[in-house]
Amino acid sequence: MKYWLLKTEPESFSIQELQNSPNKTTCWSGVRNYQARNFLRDEMKTGDRVLFYHSNANPPAIVGTARVVKEGYPDGTALDEHDHHWDPKSTAENPIWYMVDIQLDRIFAQPLGLDHLRTVAALQKMELLRKGSRLSVQPVSAAEFKEVLKQAGVK
């Protein structure tokens, strides 16, 4: 099993919207970064655990957890001319962009703000906390995932 952090702006798609989705499940579409795409396409597997992160929020924070319930498959938003994630270079025969499906595990009672995360010694090497890190799909170590759950008061 691997561990991941997925970033989203809550105005675009929040953890509350995931909670209100059918079966608390959604596709994670619209990723347009090649390194993040490679994680979605090649590395994320069913059962992997996910930290759900609200970026561009006040404060930016890890707000809960989810699980990967469907492995990488072509992102249909890239083929839809009316979608703002449309990519004319992507075709059904040669898809460029991929997505996975995730299902909500839990929403934390209190979000774990970025400022707090920076004070936790066990998280100092976490990709999220690296200066200049902007990747929307990031690997997380098992120890980091466990520490985030501990900080959230989750057993």
Mean pLDDT of 32-54: 97
**Cβ of 104: how many Cβ atoms within 10 Å?**
22
Mean pLDDT of 50-65: 96
Confidence of residue 83 (pLDDT cuts 50, 70, 90): confident
Structural domains in the chain, CATH included, are 3-151 (3.10.590.10)
Report whether pLDDT(155) > 80: no
Mean pLDDT of 82-101: 91
Q: Say which residue, 80 or 12, is predicted with more confidence.
A: 12
Mean pLDDT of 63-84: 94
Confidence of residue 101 (pLDDT cuts 50, 70, 90): very high
Report whether pLDDT(64) > 80: yes
- Preceding peptide of 139 cis, ω within 30°: no
- Mean pLDDT (the chain) is 95
Q: Would you call 97 helix, strand, or coil by DSSP?
A: coil
Site of tokens 């069913």: 46
Looking at residue 84, its pLDDT comes to 85
The answer to whether the CB of 3 falls within 8 A of the CB of 76 is: no
Instruction: Give the C-alpha separation, 78 to 89, whole Å.
Output: 9
Mean pLDDT of 61-77: 97
